[in-house]
Structure 1
């Protein structure tokens, strides 16, 4: 794209998702001069504390929806800084993860209960303003069945397809239509990746935390989606890890995300994977670059 910087938009449901799904990829592209914008659909207001060592920052509280929102905004700013990316909020309210049988109703006014066009409109306008060449988000399952992850997929899919249509989402004084060129789904925790890490840890004489998870997923026969694109990001694991630990209320620095020694991880799985969902430019899979077919060779 001669004379114009490449632009990548990563659409996520909650603060911390951008650090656990494709984070090293966004860090790599940002370091290479790509304009990267992380879009966070909700404020993560209903997320539980998942880090036993978490301490509420001085001057804040974490009991109310408003208090959680404020703390998670602080965490998100630190994570974006670690990755070297821009970040913005769509401003919707976390739906929470319902538990029980039967499942309780979702909270009134939450992200997952909004009509699709109402939830998509601000992202459509943001796509038109930022003009990304590539968008990333979750597959139709949401990656796991959190209602906000499923709605995040729906909203990002809608925005990708609608933002270039001048007859849709018409706003007085709004930005001109813009059609992104490629849409990808994140592939963060594939069975192939888990097995590779599990076998490498056992081979190194280390205790692997992944055995039960692999057996559970296999028993439930969870279908594996096909990754089309692998981006080499081992050099950016430190930025990813810094972003993860920035989300102190959610990420345990002694937990799952840090179970694999980083030198071992770089040896057996130095990439992050994506699934090409749609392309408006010619490209051939497998790819090693989200901008394959978009970059102009010099």
Structure 2
């Protein structure tokens, strides 16, 4: 499976790899509970286009995070319209997490999207130390997504996302999540705060149905993933995505037959992430203990010298 083409000259921006990424240095936009409730109430009265207009003015360092699903494509088109009507409006870049296991049809779609929106900058983030599937499997092993699913999610999605947020200094992201997608998403708000990163998450089409999204795509002739016509409604990695029936939830084809509904990007910290956090905390405690022991030894030596 071919990788997505990169290069600044083509409108893509490829991220440098780093294993030391952290969201600790990210700029924070602080919203109180009352402020969040007020903003969500205001957004409930707006159209999706006006929500996006508002978000581009309200939030600094705003990006769109997308895997080029239908909702993300609608958002791109609306952002392009905002840019066209107000050239002075900030240009919103797109973050794409290339797990290296996307369908060929998804990579083909990105090329068509770039042709449709030539001024769009796509920031591509891949697993650390891998530019293609062969390199990924040489470094992490074949079938990692089956043998150690949460470890795979961390390597292929969560760590690249954290690296993207850090390197791009992201303060807020536009997502394609909608309540009608089912699962844990049925209680979404228009604006949320990720408690683990402090990132503001904005869901401008949160109240749209699948049919509304699809109708917009058709009406505005926006390129979309051809797998949609084969029964796929929500498309991720090829190894964990299946077609769905008309009566199933939109995301029922993701990790079909398992209780899992999210990959680690939008859900609470995975067990593997918790393990890494625990390891870091243990190392910090060990370092602090060593510093304390060293300080006590110096005090004892000083006292012994003064007695002599």
Question: What TM-score do you get using the length of structure 1 for normalisation?
Answer: 0.26
Higher strand share: 1
The structure number with the bigger radius of gyration is 2
**Structure with more relative contact order (C-alpha pairs < 8 Å, separation 6 or more):** 1
Question: What TM-score do you get using the length of structure 2 for normalisation?
Answer: 0.25
Higher helix share: 2
